[in-house]
Structure 1
């Protein structure tokens, strides 16, 4: 896989310069119009991870790859990406206009945990199709960002954080209220959440050597210091799946990503996912997908 693109790499790639305040005590934030990078000037966005957050308004049809999902933007959309999730945009030449803002974790270090919001979670929704009316509302928020960042107001970065939250909640309010969201936080949810976070920390994989150390319910239970039966009950109650199912689905998701977007051979992929034998990986993949890893890659 390609190395993680840092916020410094982003500036060098886009502008060949680096802001003076990129490492200061308030973190980094910036906002840009999308117009110079779309249409005839469009450049393909490679599939890779970034070490910064990005919120983008896209006006025009496009296709975005998130993990093993492909999301079609039919007309216009608001998208969110975070350092944990690789992505790639296609058909950028068809995008007419838009805006995007970028910021690092340090910019919000004393203002809440962004990863608690679904738009920045690995299993959450990251692309929101917008109506013409919604596009204008979002466009106004980005315009206010541009106005604030160019101002001399002493507390402009507080204003900018508020505007990021405004976009975040604008998207979340478009989501239907889930039954899980209505439930009271209890012990099972806490354990299941810790398990899912621990599982997700092992991904995405970027080096062709074993990095998936935790692969069984027992190993996760030991790491979380709970009995394996307690863990299994909690995960089943919250996700309606067994612990083994959740682990297998995440391994399968990463396997599909590596087969699609890396140049590693099947043995290297199997090894990186913690399979001691490539035969075991082939059997695992065929059991869940009905086809071999090589046939999936070549399809």
Structure 2
């Protein structure tokens, strides 16, 4: 895309809506998860968004609306009964001609790992797919999804101390139904061109490697050269493909994966911070602490304390 330098990047829906001048009163800034009916957001239609990149997952359930959306260079129509999702890192835009009932769920990779499934991409590999076409469901099947996202919406606006856990458990069922009804036979490796396949292979190796790292199966964290060697590519070529297709450098992908794994281990285990640092390839826990705080604005100790994990 020729105007790459002009494309805005949003790390969360609150920032996106704020920039677009849309209401944010239903968006909780303190969590990496949102859900709402777009009818409450778009007071008038037609509405056409700017082109942007979103560093989070979006799941859209179109009960009654018409329009279209773009992902990179692909344009998809939306009509009643449509369900689709988009992944982080792509050029996106959307246009609504009519809105009566559409629910949007957004969430980060960290939320997926912390509250939905620790091995999220192994259990649901279609989430790694670069571009997945939308599907139009029959009314009875769509109603099953509607029941689930309405329950999620109810919990989202509750004050329950178990809100995120309940949302996570309900969202697992949504992903299982997606897997069951229309992505069971989807191959996340194949995307139709060489550069897309390179991106898929990189994402899958990145995920597998960090799973091995956190599980203690390997002790050395991969560098760019290792990811390039795995596909018999020159590191510069791999870097260019990843950057051009996802909008993020390999270094950024590695950093985000490291932080996501660190957050998951800090929240979901009582492993010492020193051991977590070692598992993630840091020779000193102080270096890990500085690195974690730089990218999250919280020290590992404070992050763990806020999530009420006790260390033995």
TM range (shorter): 0.5 to 0.7
Distance change in 2, residues 1:93/1:39 (3 Å): farther
Superposition TM-score, scaled by structure 1 size: 0.55
Task: Note the C-alpha offset of 1:3.
Answer: 2.0
Where does structure 1 lack aligned partners over 5 or more consecutive residues? 182-191, 202-219, 233-242, 259-299
Superposition TM-score, scaled by structure 2 size: 0.53
Distance change in 2, residues 1:141/1:16 (3 Å): closer
The match for 1:295 is none
Give the counterpart of 2:57 among 36, 47, 53.
53
Distance change in 2, residues 1:175/1:197 (3 Å): same
Contact kept in structure 2, 1:66 and 1:86, CA below 8 Å: yes
Task: Note the C-alpha offset of 1:51.
Answer: 2.2
Aligned length: 208
| 1:16-31 equivalent positions in 2, closer than 5 A | 22-23=29-30, 27-31=31-35
Q: Aligned-residue CA RMSD in angstroms?
A: 4.1
Contact kept in structure 1, 2:128 and 2:200, CA below 8 Å: no
Tell me how far apart the structure 2 counterparts of residues 195 and 16 of structure 1 sit (CA, whole Å).
37
1 or 2, which has the higher strand percentage? 2
Task: Note the C-alpha offset of 1:32.
Answer: 0.6
More RCO (CA 8 Å, sep 6+): 1
Larger Cα-atom Rg: 1
Task: Note the C-alpha offset of 1:72.
Answer: 2.4
Matched, 1:82 2:90: no
Tell me how far apart the structure 1 counterparts of residues 128 and 10 of structure 2 sit (CA, whole Å).
19
The match for 2:15 is 9
Give the counterpart of 1:165 among 148, 172, 177.
172
The match for 2:77 is 72
Task: Note the C-alpha offset of 1:224.
Answer: 3.6
Where does structure 2 lack aligned partners over 5 or more consecutive residues? 189-197, 208-222, 248-312
Summarize deviations over 1:193-232 as a string: whole Å, max 9, x none.
984339999xxxxxxxxxxxxxxxxxx9953475x8xx46
Tell me how far apart the structure 2 counterparts of residues 165 and 51 of structure 1 sit (CA, whole Å).
21
Tell me how far apart the structure 1 counterparts of residues 71 and 143 of structure 2 sit (CA, whole Å).
26
